[in-house]
Amino acid sequence: MIRFENVTKVYDQKARPALDSVNLEIDRGEFAFLVGASGSGKSTFLRLVLKEDRATSGAVYVAGQNVAKISSWRVPRLRRGIGVVFQDFRLLPQKNVFANVAFAMQVIGKSRSVIRDTVPEVLKTVGLEGKEHRMPHELSGGEQQRVAIARAVVNRPGILLADEPTGNLDPTTSMGIMGILDKINQNGTTVVMATHDDDIVNEMRKRVVELKNGVVIRDEARALYTSMIPVVGQSRRLKDASGRDATETGLPGEGEGQR
């Protein structure tokens, strides 16, 4: 569904690349975490998938298409196949819950009746039934993020990208959001979530792709936030993790560690 072939992204010639020769494939229906410290290139990865930026070298494939080959007037069609959620929700403050979700359908020309039928259905999947007429400022952070998720998936995209969606939320609310993302993934949507929230990653036990300074240093299935496989130069991090998680997990994940 998403394939990076030797992708490098350089924003600033003088700085190190934001992504450095990244090779990665995420299959249809998969749920993958993109983890790593701030500045490690997670958001850059997501932006390349959306063709918000172009790779400096290498090729990005989305649904089998090389995004560099998509002409600018067809980029909207690419984006209709991808839902996006951010840490800061990005709701329209002067529109109520229903209108915020409907907005995503209006702007791509969906008919009024389709909107009337679809929006309540999607609000129900994210657990917001009955709150259609609330304004964003009348909602908690978790509820606002649910609205944003509803908006991202209301056009039934094949891919959902989430950039630190729980970054502004407390742990309990975050787990609620993860439940929704998991449900969306169960329905067949490929989900890629950038995060540095270790509790969530450890709880979910999904594929984990770890970035460091733009390089993929780990790609493990059903993994933890930090790897159990010793990696040269990663011993300090390993110790942090063992203090908290070693008893719970015990065994190493089944992916391979990379440097």
Partner 1 sequence: MRLAFILGEIGSGLRRNLSMVVSVILVTFVSLTFVGAAGMLQMQINQMKGYWYDKVQVAIFLCSEGSTAAGCASGPVTAEQQASLNSLLESPAVAQYVNDFQFESKEEAYNHFKDQFSNSPIVDSVTPDQLPASFRINMKDPEKYQIISETFSSQPGVETVIDQRQLLERLFSVMNGASLVAVSIAGVMIVCAILLIATTIRLSAFSRRRETGIMRLVGASKTVIQLPFILEGVIAAVIGAALASATLWAVAHFFLGEFMSQQYPDTAFISSGQTLILVPALLILGASLAGISSLLTLRRYLRV
Ligand X SMILES: Nc1ncnc2c1ncn2[C@@H]1O[C@H](COP(=O)(O)OP(=O)(O)O)[C@@H](O)[C@H]1O
For residue 112, state whether it binds partner 1 (rule: CB under 8 A): yes
Contact pick of 18, 32, 49, 217 for ligand X (by CB under 6 A): 18
* Sites for ligand X among residues 42-101 (CB under 6 A): 42-44
In the list 54, 92, 138, 186, the residue contacting partner 1 (rule: CB under 8 A) is 92
Q: Which stretch binds partner 1 (CB under 8 A): 107-115, 130-138, 190-198, 246-254?
A: 107-115
Q: How many of the chain's residues bind partner 1 (CB under 8 A)?
A: 27
DSSP string, 63-109: TTEEGGGS-GGGHHHHHHTEEEEETT----TTS-HHHHHHHHHHTTT
Contact 159, 62 (CB under 8 A): yes
Name the residue nearer to ligand X (CB basis): 89 or 98: 89
Return the exposure string of 74-112: e unless at least 16 CB atoms fall within 10 Å of the residue's CB, then b.
Answer: eeeebbeebbbbbbebebeeeebbbbbbbbbbeeeebee
160 binds partner 1 (CB under 8 A): no
Nearest by Cα to 85 from 65, 68, 100, 106:
100
* Residue 223: half-sphere exposure toward Cβ, Cα within 13 Å: 24
Beta bridge partners of 57: 8
Which option in Mg ion, ligand X, partner 1, none does residue 18 bind, with CB closer than 5 to 8 A by kind? ligand X
Q: According to the binding rule CB under 8 A, does residue 106 interact with partner 1?
A: yes
Query: Minimum Å distance from CB 43 to ligand X?
Result: 3
Task: Give the binding site for ligand X (CB under 6 A).
Answer: 11-12, 18, 36, 38-44
Task: Give the binding site for Mg ion (CB under 5 A).
Answer: 43
